[in-house]
A and B are shown apart, each in its own frame.
Chain A
């Protein structure tokens, strides 16, 4: 198999960068941090794996992206520990499972624009609700759902990218879809 050329690598990154950003954003819940994660993942791919065949890039990149997200949380945890130790004003880790972005996330600034037609506005609101519901999923379920259904990796590739068994991927995906459907239904969105 031939290694990826500069153009192929560029085209690949251009194709995945937006979805990668969204994936990182769902996980870290901060735009700047999500951009940093995507940039780190891109740098790691080009610096260490550029010699790989182009067919292997999607799964490799997903694995790097997931690892970079995990690294972000590890660093955040260490920082949070030091902040708690050194200051009485230390805050709790954002990864808390009880965190509810549906109640705390600000509404998208561009989702209620008065100039948009009603249908577009409704569409944008549903998109925002879907993204918020995804952000509310447990991390592993979200990861499995996004890799399997959004990135369209097969079960084996998803398992490799997540570092778990194929059975776990199927379980996570099934639970994620069910949870998303229920959360959206509760917000008045019938799929």
Chain B
């Protein structure tokens, strides 16, 4: 008996074994197939949800004009950065304001703060 004939006989036994698969296993295979086919139909339904004017532009395979989560994230990030910058500028202005007020309300004339001898005297006077 040659290779082809032996292979054919073995194939016959394998086919028989496959036909006799347990019902539970066959069911699980059927479920796996259905799951795979569900994944197939998902991308085909995508165009139904594309907004007019979106142009179908994609970023990394995702439709960026449709995915609101991306835009909300970007807006939150930009908003956060702008708020932080505004708060920092306001804080700086407050600090300058306080210093100016202290200098102007002081009994000492402004020229005294520019005098080097006065600075040296202040340092010597420190405990």
Contacts and interface: CB of A to CB of B under 8 A. Distances in A.
Contacts of A18: 18-19, 21, 26, 29
Specify the main secondary structure of chain A where it touches its partner: helix
Interface stretch (A36-44, A80-88, A93-101): A36-44
B41 interface: yes
A13 B36 contact: yes
Contacts of A110: 20, 22
Contacts of A180: 6, 10
Contacts of A39: 32, 35-36
Contact of B39 (A22, A47, A173, A174): A47
B14 interface: yes
Interface in B111-125: none
Nearest to B13: A130
A130 B32 contact: no
B28 A35 contact: yes
A149 B7 contact: yes
B98 interface: no
A46 interface: yes
A59 interface: no
B35 A43 contact: yes
Nearest to A36: B32
Contacts of A134: 10, 14
Interface string B1-35: 10100111111011011111110011011101101
A106 to B, nearest CB: 14
Contacts of A19: 14, 18
A11 B48 CA distance: 27
Contacts of A191: 1, 6, 9-10
B36 A22 contact: no
A148 B19 CA distance: 20
Interface residues of B, number: 30
A35 B41 CA distance: 22
Contacts of A156: none
Contacts of B26: 18
B14 A150 contact: yes
A123 B15 CA distance: 12
Contacts of A21: 21, 25, 29
Nearest to A45: B36
26 contacts: A17-B33, A18-B19, A18-B26, A21-B21, A22-B17, A22-B18, A31-B25, A35-B25, A35-B28, A42-B33, A43-B35, A46-B36, A46-B37, A47-B40, A50-B40, A110-B20, A126-B13, A127-B13, A127-B17, A127-B20, A134-B14, A150-B14, A173-B7, A174-B3, A177-B7, A191-B1
